[in-house]
Amino acid sequence: MNKKKAKLVYKHNKFDIVEDGNFVICAVSGKEIPLSELSYWNVELQEAYYSPLEVKKRFKILSNKK
């Protein structure tokens, strides 16, 4: 099966697929996240996260910028 990066629009409690694919990239770690396993994202930043650990890292970075 060929792997292709998907393009998504992240919304509250769901996401819309703009361009078909199998995965997205975590904004913090750079890890591939299969769409079937995607559970964490930020609507405002339009970013996906691999796990709660990456979410925590991102918000720590953002809070340090304020």
Residue-wise pLDDT tens digits, 8-33: 999 999 999 999 999 999 999 999 99
Domain ranges for the chain, please list them.
7-65
- Are 3 and 22 contacting, i.e. CB atoms less than 8 angstroms apart? yes
Q: How confident is the model at residue 61 (pLDDT cuts 50, 70, 90)?
A: confident
pTM for the full model? 0.90
Residue-wise pLDDT tens digits, 35-50: 999 999 999 999 999 9
Q: How confident is the model at residue 1 (pLDDT cuts 50, 70, 90)?
A: low
